[in-house]
Amino acid sequence: MKPGYLILLIVMNCFWAGTLSVFKALGNAHLDPGAIVTLRFGIAGIIWAVVWPWLPGRAPRGWDLVKTAAMGVIVFSIGQRVQVLGNKYSTAGNSSVLMGMEPIITSVAAAIFLREHIGPRRWIGFALGGLGVAMLNGFLLGGFQWADLAVSVIFTSSFVCEALYSIMGKPLIERGSLMKVLVISLAFGTAANLLYDGRQTLAEARALPVGAWWQVLYLAVICTAIGHAVWFVAIRKTDVNLVAMTIFTQPVAGVAIATLWLHEKPHLGQLWGSLAIVAGLIVGLSRQIKRAPD
């Protein structure tokens, strides 16, 4: 992985970590979970649709088009609705902790479906990251409950959909235009969202105050229109399981954002968990950072 990709991915994961607190803020005061998803991906889709004529490369056709459409509905409609709904019934900090399960699920899927090799350093990195997530959730401090980490079915089931974004998307962007795959998948995901609750979303959107609109734009522009393009660029050049390791940044950043913004109560496990996750990133990504040849 090039150093530039690593830096960009870590920065984007810090932005993505903030989405859970934004979901909580918007959901508590202004929007239903479905409306958050519909507005987020609808606006992102419009942004990229406007620049479609200038996007390079070939659009997916035939079965690739069908797969792109299916990916859009699964990821940008079903998966995101499940994730926002799960976050509604938990705290943003706890949801951030659970995000540490996503890179493990994604990497296992990449090993199975894309035949990617996961070396010992990356396994150690994943193990340290998983330990860090457990410690963030109170492991070894007396308040840990396995149900809070592994059996949060509503929230964690969204990671299967998120994994499909990488597993289905990598072959598609290797055969066609990266950006056109993203735009088409956003279009089909938005169409599914509008069919489900478009009228209700428009009614709620009309009542949104200016401050809430800035939060929606944060989700749509930075975390989706820019963020998902960055992810596709990274997995086109790098193994999915290696890129997925950077998601371990989200539990650390997400807990910090929830503490500072939403005033959720932190605990000592978050410090030790953060240190374990950082150690996992260092071990797992060592010898994987390569400079571009001169």
- The pLDDT score that the predictor gives to residue 186 is 95
How many CB atoms within 10 Å of residue 246?
Answer: 24
Residue 103 domain flag: yes
Residue 294 domain flag: no
Supply the range of the domain harboring residue 44. 3-285
- The pLDDT score that the predictor gives to residue 190 is 96
Residue 108 domain flag: yes
Give the torsion sign (CA, 175, 181, 184, 185). Answer: positive
Query: 3 with 293: CB under 8 angstroms?
Result: no
Structural domain count, the chain: 1
Residue 117 domain flag: yes
Report the predicted TM-score, pTM, of the whole model to 2 decimal places. 0.83
Residue 291 domain flag: no
Print pLDDT tens along the chain (294 aa): 677 778 899 999 999 999 999 999 998 888 999 999 999 999 999 999 999 999 989 999 999 999 999 999 999 999 999 999 888 877 787 778 778 778 877 887 888 888 887 778 778 877 877 777 777 666 666 555 554 544 356 777 888 888 888 898 889 998 889 899 999 999 999 999 999 999 999 999 999 999 999 999 999 999 999 999 999 888 888 888 888 888 888 988 998 999 999 998 876 776 777 777 778 777 776 655 555 443
Question: Helix (H) and strand (E) counts for the chain?
Answer: 16, 0
Query: 79 with 228: CB under 8 angstroms?
Result: no
DSSP secondary structure string for all residues of 175-208: HS-HHHHHHHHHHHHHHHHHHHHHHHHHHHHHT-
Residue 292 domain flag: no
Residue 290 domain flag: no
Query: 124 with 67: CB under 8 angstroms?
Result: no
